[in-house]
Structure 1
């Protein structure tokens, strides 16, 4: 039986620099997998190849046996993939509700004629979309800011809105790129709780790129560790974080930062 997500021998070059070298790993359905490693290890590059923002020089990505490699990024949502980004990608002047509605674009099927007269199918889709948005707002506990411009909200709440928009397309696979970066302890704990709820209540498979070892070891079923573009470890959190190769990679990164 094949894995839910299969990443096979991915490689990516930028000019003369090989950023990712022969990276392979699998993710089981309904699990939380975290991709970790020092700065510059190739984590976001791997994410961008999975989500179609970058085309690998070699290798393959499959979701439920269906090839994702070479599929344009704009088609990924219809194939069941949603993601957030390391840097905020929200529309600051739009309301929370409108930001989340944008995430539902891939689910809408009405043609331009029916949309122009706002009747029949278009009207039913609009009603259903707004009902779905309200469920997401309740799920992520942002009812109190639903009508406010996102740009007026705190950084932590803006990240929660970005997560809500990613959930709007009802993804089977959710990619979270450094979701808790820049958050305080309380905000980090809230996001950790929501990620667990996304897996348990929505049945969504989650893959995270993350620097915070506390959150990844607490909530992940599996860790994949990259260093200098290569996979150096892959397994359950308590086994991976005690792996001498992983410890050496992180200690080396810390020593380099201190130098």
Structure 2
């Protein structure tokens, strides 16, 4: 079976600076895959190209058999790419359920007339969207806050809502950008559990950029390491921990262990 996501010789330049340089990698179906590296290594730039926020300077992206290298950004969700962002991108005045429903917009096919009379297709789509949103609320264990404005929630719960909105588009792959950044230990452990459940129960493969090495090593099947825009290593968590190039990139020395 072919990989779900195949990235070949991907590069991105900003002026004379190469933020990503000739990176190739794959994400297999059913896999939790992580991209790690020191600050400024090019991880988020890579993510932005995969999700259509940035157009590559060179290289190719094949997702689920389709060349998405130059796809229009607004088509990515419909193609099956779900994403969370390093900085929260929620509607703070909206409730939890309203924010999750935003993720269903890609599946809504009703026109203005359908919506105006709210009958037939528009009614069926609205009912289906609400049912799916409620399923996600249950899955993420946020029933008690479903009707609360997102802006009044803790940072950890807001991150969970953003995860729910990404799931609402029924993605074929989920891209998580620093999903536990800014969380305390308990919140991070909760999110890690949900990430595992997303793969095991929902069957959605995951590609994540993450700085929390404990989370990365605990839940990843495979890891790619980037430094100064170039990939320096790929392997299982045990292989990455023992890789001298990774140790040097993180610690600045040839002996020790990746933290």
The bucket for the TM-score relative to the shorter chain is over 0.9
> Matches of 2:99 and 2:113 in 1, distance apart?
24
> Matches of 1:104 and 1:207 in 2, distance apart?
21
Q: Within the alignment, does 1:98 sit opposite 2:94 as a pair?
A: no
> Matches of 2:227 and 2:65 in 1, distance apart?
28
Which ranges in structure 1 are unaligned for 5 or more consecutive residues? Answer: 254-259
2:213 is aligned to 213
1:24 is aligned to 24
> Matches of 1:9 and 1:118 in 2, distance apart?
48
Structure 2 counterparts to residues 1-259 of structure 1, below 5 A = 1-252=1-252
> Matches of 1:114 and 1:93 in 2, distance apart?
27
Which ranges in structure 2 are unaligned for 5 or more consecutive residues? Answer: 254-259
> Matches of 1:196 and 1:55 in 2, distance apart?
30
2:257 is aligned to none
Output the TM-score relative to the length of structure 1: 0.96
Shift of 1:57: 0.4
SS across alignment from 2:7: strand
SS across alignment from 1:233: strand
1:257 is aligned to none
> Are the aligned partners of 1:53 and 1:72 in contact in 2 as well (CA < 8 Å)?
no
**Residues 50-101 of structure 1, C-alpha deviations (whole Å, 9 max, x = no match):** 0000000000111122111111121101101100000011100000010000
> Matches of 2:20 and 2:241 in 1, distance apart?
22
Shift of 1:240: 0.9
> Matches of 2:110 and 2:65 in 1, distance apart?
29
SS across alignment from 1:76: helix
> Are the aligned partners of 1:11 and 1:21 in contact in 2 as well (CA < 8 Å)?
yes
1:256 is aligned to none
User: RMSD of the TM alignment (CA)?
Assistant: 0.9
SS across alignment from 1:2: coil
SS across alignment from 1:21: strand
> Are the aligned partners of 1:11 and 1:59 in contact in 2 as well (CA < 8 Å)?
yes
> Matches of 2:241 and 2:72 in 1, distance apart?
35
> Matches of 2:3 and 2:128 in 1, distance apart?
33
SS across alignment from 1:60: strand
> Matches of 2:98 and 2:217 in 1, distance apart?
34
2:256 is aligned to none
**Residues 177-217 of structure 1, C-alpha deviations (whole Å, 9 max, x = no match):** 00000000000000000000000010001000000010011
Which is further off, 65-74 or 207-216? Answer: 65-74
Shift of 1:126: 0.6
Output the TM-score relative to the length of structure 2: 0.96
> Matches of 2:76 and 2:37 in 1, distance apart?
26
Shift of 1:252: 2.6
> Are the aligned partners of 1:40 and 1:228 in contact in 2 as well (CA < 8 Å)?
yes
